[in-house]
Homo-oligomer: A and B are copies of this chain.
Amino acid sequence: MELDARKLGILKAIIDEYILSASPVGSRSISKHEGFSLSSATIRNEMADLEELGYLEQPHTSAGRVPSDKAYRLYVDQMMQKATLSDDEVKLIRAHMSAKLDEVETVMQQTAHALSAVTHYTAMVMSPMLAANRLRHIQIVPLREGRALVVIVTTAGFARDAVIRVPEEITTSELERISRMLTERFYDCRMDHIAERVSREMAGELSDRKAFLCSIVEAIERKIEPETQNVQLSGATNILHYPEYSDVNKAKSFLAAVEGRSLLYDLLKRASKLEFSITIGAENQDELLKDCSIVTATYQIGDEPLGSFGIIGPTRMNYGKVISVLEFMRMSLSEIMTNELDDE
């Protein structure tokens, strides 16, 4: 049995309908669907075939049909039409993104807000990975006896900081000297190469300060990786609007999975290797996300991917719209990262 054009058409109609209504689609509603002039009986036959082929499922004997993950996959790969954003949607996004964006975290947060506001799903945005950024400045600021703050600034305007211990005998002016030395020496060095270069090039010099230098390098390495806490989340409660989560327990487990952002962090990190990715239902590794779909995109500075962001919602997701929104956002985020970040 093959998937001929008619079967495809019917399947698409079923999926479109189900995405809207969230309730099993019956043969009658498809036969009344414009474009088909077939009776419900014929549709029923086709639906039975589609079920046998694994594209449809039946919750119980006398219910309509529901698309399977396999059907969504086909839909996304071959049948879906991308939506174009309405003026209002574009306006809504711009409104979010025109807030005072003078810090990266603010951008991430506004992005998440915009995404969840436009799509009505849950949005997640991962902070940039700094690995491919280049060093602009290192400053070690003494705080109180034995403690100092290392501050690192990168090309794209990201600052990271960490408290470190300072051996008693190192003076303030020496800290200043070390700051300057590190900045000069490693100016424009890729962040993820600093550790290696320090240990290679500085083996001989400053040998009495070795342990201290190590602790600085360690702090830098830690800060290159974005952390779990740096996943911005927005609209987690949106899923409560969808009937598939009207059961409190389902909602609870979804929200709990999402609230501990480490799951999302792993997900986004993996996704940051691909410009776009769509994962449908059981394609998700994680048990808790088996009836969600996740759509992600990366943002970049110039050509260098910095991080990723995405949408998480029921498998019955408006894929066309979501993808358009992510494409739009990807552009505007990359643009902001590359050019616009400032205090106006």
List residues of A whose CB falls within 8 A of some B CB: 100, 102-103, 105-106, 109, 136-137, 139, 141-144, 147, 149, 151, 153, 155-157, 159, 161-165, 215, 218-219, 222, 227, 229, 234-237, 240-241, 246, 248, 251-252, 255-256, 259, 341-344
CB distance from A263 to the nearest CB of B (A): 14
Contact B163 A219 (CB under 8 A): no
Which residues on B sit within 8 Å (CB–CB) of A156? Answer: 143
- Give complex CA distance A237, B255 in Å: 7
A146 to chain B, nearest CB (A): 8
Interchain CB contact (< 8 A) of A252 among B105, B151, B237: B237
Could you tell me if B240 and A164 are in contact, using CB atoms closer than 8 angstroms?
no
Contact of A157 among B149, B155, B159 (CB under 8 A): B149
Q: Chain B residues near A236: list those with CB within 8 A.
A: 255, 259
Residue of B nearest to A143 (CB): B157
Q: Is A161 touching B159 in the complex (CB atoms < 8 A)?
A: yes
User: Are the CB atoms of B343 and A218 closer together than 8 Å?
Assistant: yes
**How far is A229 from B141 in the complex, measured between Cα atoms in Å?**
26
- CB A254 to nearest CB in B, in angstroms, measures 9
A22 to chain B, nearest CB (A): 15
Q: Could you tell me the distance between the alpha carbons of A105 and B161 in the complex, rounded to whole angstroms? A: 10
Contact of A147 among B103, B227, B341 (CB under 8 A): B341
Residue pair A151, B163 in contact (C-beta under 8 Å): no
Specify which of B139, B143, B237 is in contact with A155 (CB 8 Å cutoff). Answer: B143
Once the chains are docked, how many angstroms separate the CA of A157 from the CA of B161? 9
Question: In the complex, are the beta carbons of A163 and B215 less than 8 A apart?
Answer: no
Given known contacts A147-B342, A165-B343, what 8 new A-B pairs fall within 8 Å (CB)? A102-B219, A106-B227, A137-B141, A139-B153, A143-B155, A143-B157, A147-B157, A236-B259
